[in-house]
Amino acid sequence: MVAYNFMARFAPSVEDGTKRQTIRACGKRRPPRRGEQLQLYTGMRTRNCRLLRTAPCTAVYPIAMDLAARRVRVQTGDIISTLSRLDVRRLAVADGFANEADFFEYFTATHGQTFAGHLIKWEV
C-alpha cells in the first residue's frame, strides 16, 4: 500500500469523496501503480493522525508545470498535452482548490517556478 498525507484544508474533500486525485512531486519513491491500494491520511506523524479512506489507484500521469507561465502539461500514454485554461481550472477544482489562481499560488509558494511530478487518481 501507498500512504499519502493531506493538509487539513483538503481532508474533508478527500474524506467525502469529492477530491479523487492528488498531485505529488517526483521523489525518491516510485509513484503508485494502477490497482494499488492508497491509504489517504491527514495529520501523519502527529498524534492527530487519521485515516481518511483507502482507495484503489485508477491512474497515474506524469505532470509538469511552468508556474511562472501558468502552463501545465500532462502525459497520457505517448501524448503530452498542454492543458487549456479551462482544463487547468477543472484540474485545480478537482484537486481541491477554489480556482486556478489558488492552484498556481499554492504550487509556486511550495515548489518555486517549475514543478515535475505525478497526477494520481483514485476511485471512491
The CATH-assigned architecture of domain 2-122 is: Roll (2.30)
DSSP string, 82-93: EPPHHHHHHHHH
Place of cell 497526477: 119
Q: 117: helix, coil or strand? A: strand
- Section 52-78 average pLDDT: 97
Rg for the chain, CA atoms, rounded: 14
Residue 4 has pLDDT above 90, yes or no: yes
- Section 63-79 average pLDDT: 96
pLDDT bracket for residue 104 (50, 70, 90): very high
Percent of the chain with pLDDT over 90: 96
DSSP 32: P
> At a CB cut-off of 8 Å and minimum separation 6, what does 107 contact?
23, 65, 67, 115
Residue spans of the domains in the chain: they are: 2-122
How high is the mean pLDDT of the chain? 96
Residue 1 has pLDDT above 90, yes or no: no
What's this model's pTM, rounded to 2 decimal places?
A: 0.94
Place of cell 511550495: 110
> What pLDDT, on a 0 to 100 scale, did the predictor assign at position 124?
87
